[in-house]
Amino acid sequence: SLKTFLNGTDENTVEFAHVFKTYVEKYYFVYSNVLCKFQRYSFCCNLIVLRAVLKKREYGTKYTQNNFITAVRAMNEFCLKLGDLEQLRKIRRRSPHDDTEAFTVFLRSDVEAKALDVWGSQEALARERNLRKEVEREYQESMSFSPHLMHDLYKCLISFFQNCRNGLNFFFKLLAWVYTGSACMFSEAIHSLADTCNQALLALGISQSVRNPDAIHPYGFSNMRYIASLISGVGIFMMGAGLSWYHGIMGLLHPQPIESLLWAYCILAGSLVSEGATLLVAINEIKKSSRKQGLSFYEYVMQSRDPSTNVVLLEDAAAVVGVVLAAGCMGLTSLTGNPYYDSLGSLCVGTLLGTVSAFLIYTNTEALLGRSIQAEHVQKLTEFLENDPAVRAIHDVKATDMGLSKVRFKAEVDFDGRVVTRSYLEKQDIEQILNDIQQVKTPEELENFMLKHGENIIDTLGAEVDRLEKELKQRNPEVRHVDLEIL
């Protein structure tokens, strides 16, 4: 328009037009700067408003307003009845147990208020709680040795027959020692006595190891087998090896003439047959168990996978070797008439028992300290988790043998937040979420929208952890306890 106005005008008009144009450009530049500053000021004001709405909340050192507790815990800790809980608000939450997907919980603040309403004061509630704990303790003590705990009947029967056999061997070997005065027969009698006591101890360990977990022992009593086998090893060393060495040394220092050894040979032959048969049974049992776990016979024994079977194997092997040594030394004594061979046989049997006891003490101590499972098995469990799309990485993996073919697995998991969020969105109505977003107009509405879906995403993350734990147990039945920690 200015160019059209300038066409065909005189010089004064042109000069005026240039001056007018200069003023317009100057004031337009000033207006632009003011407008830009105003827009930035308006944006800063909006930021200030948002920060005022979303200011960080101070919850203090103790905040229990959002704590949930189950009905069982409410009845146990706050001494309420099921009818009392019916009057409270009920909330459905994701269940941590494999057999249920969701369960009902209550706000802790509501339960505490209801408990005070029922009992009147904190002192009355504390008295009732202590009274119920005492009743529960007495009940647990009365049930601790009930017959239903004897689940492992097969192994207990084997231990019982082993005990009867060892008792008979001890009785006949003792008679042979009294009749002949042989140091070897005394060592063999002590050997059978130690085996009898150890088998009784082992049967007790088996019966205790199959007890169900309780509040005091949440991981059960499977280590009782290792404890019983450890005490068994100490008993073999003290009773078997110690007395055999003592009697052998006394025989060397004070040799005594030995009577006819015919009955001693007969008793040793019977002992060799009975203990040899039990040894074959123990070997076959270990071969079957080692094949199931993919281990060689030697690896299974050295790692003490089943301490009860290992004790039977080593005791019977030591018994067979001890009978052979005793018979050989007694034979030399019969041929030469020298009682020193008989005393040397007692020392050899004592050394054999000491070796067996040292092995039992070492292997069972290692098991009680917490031994890791095979590296190949750990790698298999780790790869299963890493192959899941929701997992980015696995760190700090620990897999320990708990005994009785039970494994405890622990790992720290770095989850992929995008995959977890997508898993949540796949179960939602996207159009409804889009409509909710479009209706957000104020910071308060935005906060409520984010809190709602943020909580649901956290629940989805917990569901992913439960899914991985469940699948890990299904694919690996020996894994009984899984702890996956979120990074």
Q: What are phi and psi of 186, to 5 degrees?
A: -65, -45
Inside any domain, residue 58:
no
| Average pLDDT score over residue span 344-368 | 85
pLDDT value, residue 213: 76
Confidence of residue 37 (pLDDT cuts 50, 70, 90): very low
Q: Which of 486, 406, 421 is nearest to 453 (CA)?
A: 421
- The DSSP bridge partners found for residue 395 are 412
Does any domain span residue 236? yes
pLDDT of residue 126: 86
Say whether both 95 and 163 belong to one domain: no
Give residue 120's pLDDT.
86
| Per-residue model confidence (pLDDT) at position 190 | 84
- Does residue 439 fall inside a structural domain? yes
Tell me the average pLDDT of the chain: 78
pLDDT at 38: 43
pLDDT category of residue 385 using cuts at 50, 70 and 90: very high
Strand 479-486 relative to strand 406-415, pairing: parallel
Structure tokens at 276: 């040899």
Q: Would you state the pLDDT for residue 24?
A: 46
Q: Which has more confidence, 26 or 479? A: 479
Distance of CA 466 to CAs 298, 383, 389, Å?
Answer: 38, 18, 15
100 vs 66, higher pLDDT = 66
Most confident range, picked from 63-77, 297-311, 333-347: 333-347
- Whether the CB-CB separation of 91 and 104 falls below 8 Å is answered with yes
| Tokens (6 digits) for 318 | 């030591």
What digits encode the pLDDT tens for the residues 198-256? 778 877 887 787 777 777 787 778 788 888 888 888 888 887 788 888 888 988 888 87
pLDDT score of 413 more than 90: yes
Q: In the listed set 109, 143, 177, which residue is the last one of a domain according to the structure?
A: 143
Instruction: Specify burial of residue 19 (Cβ count, 10 A radius: 0-12, 13-18, 19+).
Output: exposed
Range of the domain at 447: 375-486
**Which of 92, 116, 143 is where one domain is finished?**
143
pLDDT at 64 over 80: no
In a domain, 276, yes or no: yes
Q: What angle do CA 275, 276, 281 make, to 5 degrees?
A: 95
> Comparing 209-213, 288-292, 417-421, 480-484, which segment has the lowest mean pLDDT?
209-213
Q: What is the pLDDT of residue 49?
A: 42
pLDDT of 360 reads 82
3-class DSSP assignment, residue 111: helix
Q: Which CATH number belongs to the domain containing residue 204 in this structure?
A: 1.20.1510.10
35 and 116 assigned to the same domain: no
* Predicted confidence (pLDDT) at residue 300 exceeds the cutoff of 50: yes
pLDDT > 90 fraction of the chain, expressed in percent and rounded: 12
Query: Left if phi > 0, otherwise alpha if psi is -120 to 50, otherwise beta: which for 258?
Result: beta
108 and 222, same structural domain?
no
Residue 187 is predicted with a pLDDT of: 84
Q: Is residue 380 part of a domain?
A: yes
Output the CA–CA distances (angstroms, integers) from residue 154 to 145, 158, 226, 353, in the order listed. 18, 6, 18, 27
Indicate whether 273 and 213 sit together in one domain.
Answer: yes
C-beta neighbour count of 39 within 10 angstroms: 10
Can you give the pLDDT at residue 34?
A: 45
Token pair belonging to 196: 């009898």
Which tokens is 484 given? 């996956």
Q: Are residues 179 and 121 both part of a single domain?
A: no
| 377 contacts 358 by C-beta, under 8 angstroms | no
The yes-or-no verdict on residue 387 having pLDDT over 50 is: yes
Q: Which tokens is 136 given?
A: 């529960």
Q: Is the pLDDT of residue 421 over 90?
A: yes
Q: What is the pLDDT of residue 142?
A: 56
**Strands of the sheet with 68-70, listed across from one edge:** 68-70, 102-107, 91-94
Considering only CA atoms, which of 225, 213, 226 is closest in space to residue 140? 213
Q: Which of 143, 163, 181 is the last residue of a domain?
A: 143
Judgement on whether residues 327 and 399 belong to the same structural domain of the protein = no
| CATH of residue 129 | 3.90.530.10
Instruction: Give the pLDDT band of residue 1 (cuts 50, 70, 90).
Output: very low
Confidence at residue 141, expressed as pLDDT on a 0 to 100 scale: 55
Dihedral angle over CA of 375, 380, 386, 387, nearest 10:
160
Q: Radius of gyration of the chain from Cα atoms?
A: 41
Domain identity same for 384 and 446? yes
**Angle ∠(215,217,218) on CA atoms, nearest 5:** 70
Q: What is the pLDDT of residue 103?
A: 73
List the single range of 19-23, 90-94, 350-354 with lowest mean pLDDT: 19-23
Q: Tell me whether residue 253 is in a domain.
A: yes
Is the same domain home to 338 and 446? no
Q: Is residue 62 part of a domain?
A: no
Separation between Cα atoms, residue 169 and residue 264, nearest integer Å: 12
* CATH number for the domain harbouring residue 444: 3.30.70.1350
Does residue 389 form part of some domain? yes
Spatial CB neighbours of 213, under 8 Å, sequence gap ≥ 6: 219, 220, 221
Q: Is the pLDDT of residue 414 over 90?
A: yes
- Which among 405, 368, 402 has a CA at the least distance from the CA of 230? 368
Q: Same domain for 122 and 157? A: no
Distance, in Å, from the CA atom of 201 to the CA atom of 357, rounded to the nearest integer, reads 15
Pair 303, 256 in one domain: yes
What is the total count of domains within the chain?
4
Amino acid 75: pLDDT: 82
Q: Would you say residue 309 has pLDDT above 60?
A: yes
Q: Mind listing the pLDDT tens digit for each residue in 136-181? A: 776 665 554 444 444 455 556 666 777 787 788 888 888 888 888 8
21: pLDDT strictly greater than 70? no
DSSP string, 159-201: HHHHHHHHHHHHHHHHHHHHHH--HHHHHHHHHHHHHHHHHHH
Q: Does the pLDDT value for residue 350 go beyond 70?
A: yes
For residues 262 and 230, state if they share a domain: yes
Cβ neighbours for 286, distance < 8 A, ≥ 6 positions apart: 297, 300, 301, 306, 309, 310, 313
Residue 156: per-residue pLDDT: 60
Distance CA 385, CA 462 (A): 15
* Residues 193 and 75 occupy one common structural domain: no
For residues 94, 97, 101, 103, the Cα torsion angle rounded to the nearest 10 degrees is: -60
